Amino acid sequence: MTTESSAADCKQEPSLWGTVLAVQANFYQVQLDAPAEHAGPLRPATLLCTRRARLKKMGQQVMVGDRVALEEPDWDGGRGAIATVAPRHTQLDRPPVANANQILLVFSLTEPDLDPHQLSRFLIKAETTAMAIALVLNKRDLVAPTVVDAWGDRLAAWGYAPIPLSVTCDPVQATLDPYLRDRATIISGPSGVGKSSLINRLIPQAHLRTGRVSGKLGRGRHTTRHVELFQLPGGGLLADTPGFNQPDIDCAPGDLAQYFPEMRQQLGDRPCQFADCLHQGEPGCGVTTDWERYADYLALLATCLDQEQQRQSQGEDHEGMKVKVGEAGQIHHEPRLQAKKYRRVSRRSRQQSLQDLHYEVRDGVDHLDPTAWDEDPSD
Flag whether 353 is in a domain.
Answer: no
Quick check: bond before 112 cis, omega within 30?
Answer: yes
- pLDDT reported for residue 71: 87
Same domain, 71 and 178: no
Same domain, 145 and 190: yes
Same domain, 132 and 223: yes
What's the rounded Cα separation, in Å, for the pair 257 and 255?
6
- Which of 61, 87, 113 marks a domain boundary? 87
- pLDDT reported for residue 360: 54
Of 233, 230, 232, the closest CA to residue 241 belongs to 230
Flag whether 161 is in a domain.
Answer: yes
Same domain, 224 and 273: no
Flag whether 347 is in a domain.
Answer: no
CATH code of the domain containing 127: 3.40.50.300
- pLDDT reported for residue 170: 95
Q: Is 348 helix (H, G, I), strand (E, B) or coil?
A: helix
CB 68 within 8 A of CB 100: no
Flag whether 204 is in a domain.
Answer: yes
Same domain, 206 and 289: no
Chunk the chain into consecutive blocks of 10 residues (it has 379) and report each block's average pLDDT, rounded to whole numbers.
Answer: 44 72 90 64 80 90 94 85 94 87 95 94 93 96 97 97 96 94 91 89 71 44 64 87 68 94 93 91 90 95 92 69 50 57 65 63 54 51
How many structural domains does the chain have?
3
- pLDDT reported for residue 7: 42
Q: Is 228 helix (H, G, I), strand (E, B) or coil?
A: strand
What's the rounded Cα separation, in Å, for the pair 133 and 127?
8
Flag whether 365 is in a domain.
Answer: no
Same domain, 20 and 123: no
Q: Is 124 helix (H, G, I), strand (E, B) or coil?
A: helix
- pLDDT reported for residue 216: 43
CB 129 within 8 A of CB 258: no
Same domain, 102 and 235: yes
What's the rounded Cα separation, in Å, for the pair 220 and 224?
11
Find the domain containing 149 and state its range: 97-240
CB 137 within 8 A of CB 151: yes
CB 68 within 8 A of CB 17: yes
Flag whether 197 is in a domain.
Answer: yes
Residues contacting 233, CB < 8 A, separation 6+: 173, 202, 203
Of 54, 130, 58, the closest CA to residue 90 belongs to 130
Whole-prediction pTM value?
0.71
- pLDDT reported for residue 72: 78
**Residues 286, 292, 293: CA angle, nearest 5 degrees:** 75
- pLDDT reported for residue 149: 97
Flag whether 267 is in a domain.
Answer: yes
- pLDDT reported for residue 177: 94
- Which of 59, 87, 115 marks a domain boundary? 87
